[in-house]
C-alpha cells in the first residue's frame, strides 16, 4: 500500500499559504486527506485569492451543493499576513479540525492591537477566533498551549474527557480537557501534541512556546483603558489610540509583535514508521538567483513549518531535535520570512533544505542576505515562484 503526498508553498508574497494533499488507493476506492498551514499575505491579495481558488478545486466534495472538505487547518499565530485569507478559503468549504494557539486574555489583546483591521472579517475574527470558526461549522478546534491551572479555575464546570475514535486521533496524554459547545468541540491541549491519521499512517507533531509575562501585558492594557476612560472597542476604532497604546506596551513589554510570533505553532509532518524510505521530487525553482537544471530524488521524510517563531537565547523546539533523521533530508520553512534577527539555530540538522518566504517588494526588506548565505540550498518563494514537492511512501513489507 502506498501514499502519495503533494505539498505546495504557494506564491502569495509576504506571508504564508502552505497546503498538502495525501492520496491513497485502497482497491477501487480513493482516499484523500487535505490540510492547510496558514493562509494570509501582506502583498496584494490577488496572488492569494488566485492560489486559494486553485487549491479549492482539488478538494474532495462532500454533502449537498458541492461543498468541499478540508480535513485539517492549522493557524500558526494571529498576524494578518497568516490569517487574512481564511474567509475566502472557508467559503464553501467544511473544515473538520482546526489547530491554533490557546487564546489567553493577553494574547487576545495582542492580536487585536497588532491587526491592521482593514476589513470587517478581521475585526470579527480577532474579537473571538474560536467563535468565528464555530460560525463556520468547524467540528473540532484544538487549542495548543493551554495552561492547566487556568483551565481548571475558569472552566472546570464545563470540563469533559472523551475517548477519541476519529481517523485523525490526538495523543491522549496531551489532552487537558474538552468542552461541549454546540456542534463544535473545543479541545484544550498541552504545548506539544501528536495527531495521527490511521488511514494514511501520517503523523503531525505540534509544539509552541509559552509567552511569559502575559499578566503584565493585560495589566498595561487595562491600566491604559482606566486612565483614559475608554473601552477596548473605542481604542480599536481610533488608529491614533492604537498607536499610543502600542508605544506604551513597547516600553513596558518589549513589543507585542515579537510576542505573537513566539506563539507560532510549529508543525512537523511525516509518514509513519510503517513506511519505507520516501522519495522527494522538487520543482525547478530559483535558488539564490541560480537555478536547478535538474530534477533529483532525495530521501526526504520530514517537513517542518515554523510560522514566524522567535527563539531567545538557548531555547529549542523539541521537534527539531527529538527525531532520528539519519539518512533523510529535512525540509524547513525558515521563520519570519528569512529575517537575520530571528534566533533560530537549526545548524544541528545534518541534511537541511530551507524554504524562505518573501515578497518581491515588502516593508521589512526580507530575505536578509545573511540568511541566504547561511543555508544551502535555499528555496525562495515569492509572488512569482512557488515551491512544490512530492513524497511517495511505500508500506513496509513483512517479507
Q: Is residue 10 part of a domain?
A: yes
pLDDT of residue 21: 97
- Shared domain for 141 and 226, answered yes or no, is no
pLDDT of residue 330: 83
Q: Is residue 288 part of a domain?
A: yes
Q: Is residue 55 part of a domain?
A: yes
pLDDT of residue 75: 97
CB neighbours (10 Å) of residue 163?
6
Q: Is residue 350 part of a domain?
A: no
Mean per-residue pLDDT over the chain, rounded: 82
CA distance 335 to 231: 35
| β-pair type (185-189, 140-144) | parallel
Q: Identify whether 377 is preceded by a cis peptide bond (ω within 30 of 0).
A: yes
Q: Is residue 328 part of a domain?
A: no
- Shared domain for 105 and 143, answered yes or no, is yes
- Shared domain for 65 and 99, answered yes or no, is yes
Range of the domain at 10: 2-210+265-310+380-394
The per-residue pLDDT for range 21-46, each reduced to its tens digit, is 999 877 777 889 999 999 999 999 99
- Shared domain for 173 and 190, answered yes or no, is yes
The per-residue pLDDT for range 46-80, each reduced to its tens digit, is 999 999 999 999 999 887 777 899 999 999 999 99
Residue 205, pLDDT > 80, answer yes
Q: Is residue 225 part of a domain?
A: yes
- Shared domain for 14 and 90, answered yes or no, is yes
Q: Is residue 332 part of a domain?
A: no
Q: How many domains does the chain have?
A: 2
The per-residue pLDDT for range 144-189, each reduced to its tens digit, is 988 766 666 555 545 555 555 578 899 878 888 888 767 889 999 9
- Shared domain for 12 and 156, answered yes or no, is yes
Q: What percent of the chain has pLDDT over 70?
A: 79
Model confidence pTM above 0.85: yes
- Shared domain for 55 and 128, answered yes or no, is yes
- Shared domain for 70 and 109, answered yes or no, is yes
For residue 331, give the 3-state DSSP assignment: strand
- Shared domain for 91 and 240, answered yes or no, is no
Residue 384, pLDDT > 80, answer yes
Greater pLDDT, 267 or 201: 267
- Shared domain for 10 and 59, answered yes or no, is yes
pLDDT of residue 288: 40
For the ranges 276-280, 320-324, 345-349, the one whose mean pLDDT is highest: 276-280
Residue 322, pLDDT > 80, answer no
Q: Identify whether 367 is preceded by a cis peptide bond (ω within 30 of 0).
A: yes
Beta-bridge mates of residue 378:
354
Residue 342, pLDDT > 70, answer no
- Shared domain for 141 and 166, answered yes or no, is yes
- Shared domain for 33 and 62, answered yes or no, is yes
pLDDT of residue 276: 64
For residue 241, give the 3-state DSSP assignment: helix
pLDDT of residue 289: 39
| β-pair type (300-305, 329-333) | parallel
User: What is the band of 294 on the pLDDT scale with cuts at 50, 70, 90?
Assistant: very low
CA distance 72 to 81: 19
pLDDT of residue 315: 72
Amino acid at each position: 500500500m502506498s501514499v502519495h503526498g503533494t505539498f505546495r508553498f504557494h506564491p502569495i508574497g509576504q506571508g504564508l499559504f502552505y497546503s498538502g494533499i495525501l492520496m491513497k488507493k485502497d482497491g477501487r476506492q480513493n482516499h484523500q486527506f487535505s490540510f492547510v498551514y496558514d493562509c494570509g499575505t501582506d502583498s496584494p491579495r490577488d496572488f492569494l485569492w488566485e492560489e486559494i481558488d486553485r487549491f479549492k478545486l482539488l478538494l474532495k466534495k462532500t454533502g449537498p451543493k458541492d461543498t468541499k472538505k478540508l480535513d485539517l487547518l492549522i493557524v500558526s499565530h494571529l498576524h494578518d499576513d497568516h490569517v487574512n485569507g481564511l474567509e475566502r478559503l472557508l467559503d464553501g468549504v467544511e473544515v473538520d479540525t482546526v489547530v491554533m494557539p490557546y487564546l489567553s486574555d493577553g494574547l487576545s489583546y495582542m492580536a487585536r492591537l497588532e491587526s491592521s483591521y482593514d476589513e470587517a472579517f478581521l475585526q470579527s475574527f480577532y474579537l473571538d477566533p474560536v467563535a468565528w470558526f464555530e460560525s463556520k461549522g468547524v467540528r473540532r478546534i484544538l487549542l495548543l498551549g493551554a495552561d492547566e491551572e487556568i483551565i481548571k479555575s475558569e472552566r472546570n464546570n464545563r470540563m469533559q474527557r472523551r475517548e477519541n475514535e476519529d481517523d485523525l486521533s490526538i495523543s491522549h496524554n496531551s489532552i487537558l480537557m474538552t468542552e461541549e459547545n454546540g456542534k463544535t468541540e473545543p479541545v484544550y491541549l498541552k504545548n506539544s501534541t501528536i495527531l495521527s491519521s490511521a488511514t494514511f499512517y501520517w503523523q503531525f507533531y505540534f509544539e509552541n512556546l509559552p509567552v511569559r509575562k502575559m499578566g503584565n501585558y493585560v495589566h498595561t492594557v487595562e491600566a491604559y483603558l482606566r486612565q483614559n476612560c475608554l473601552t477596548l472597542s473605542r481604542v480599536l476604532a481610533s488608529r491614533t489610540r492604537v498607536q499610543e497604546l502600542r508605544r506604551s506596551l513597547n516600553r513596558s513589554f518589549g513589543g507585542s509583535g515579537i510576542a505573537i510570533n513566539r506563539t507560532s505553532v510549529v508543525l512537523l509532518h511525516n509518514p509513519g514508521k510503517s513506511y519505507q524510505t520516501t522519495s522527494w521530487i522538487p520543482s525547478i525553482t530559483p535558488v539564490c538567483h541560480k537555478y536547478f537544471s535538474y530534477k533529483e530524488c532525495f530521501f526526504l521524510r520530514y517537513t517542518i513549518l515554523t510560522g514566524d517563531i522567535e527563539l531567545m537565547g538557548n531555547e529549542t523546539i523539541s521537534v527539531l531535535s527529538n527525531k532520528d533523521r539519519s539518512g533523510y533530508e529535512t525540509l524547513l520553512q525558515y521563520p519570519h520570512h528569512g529575517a537575520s534577527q530571528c534566533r533560530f539555530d537549526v545548524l544541528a540538522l545534518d541534511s537541511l533544505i530551507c524554504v524562505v518566504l518573501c515578497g518581491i517588494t515588502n516593508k521589512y526588506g526580507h530575505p536578509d542576505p545573511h540568511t541566504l548565505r547561511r543555508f544551502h540550498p535555499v528555496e525562495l518563494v515569492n509572488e512569482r515562484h512557488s515551491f512544490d514537492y512530492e513524497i511517495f511512501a511505500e508500506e513496509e513489507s513483512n517479507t
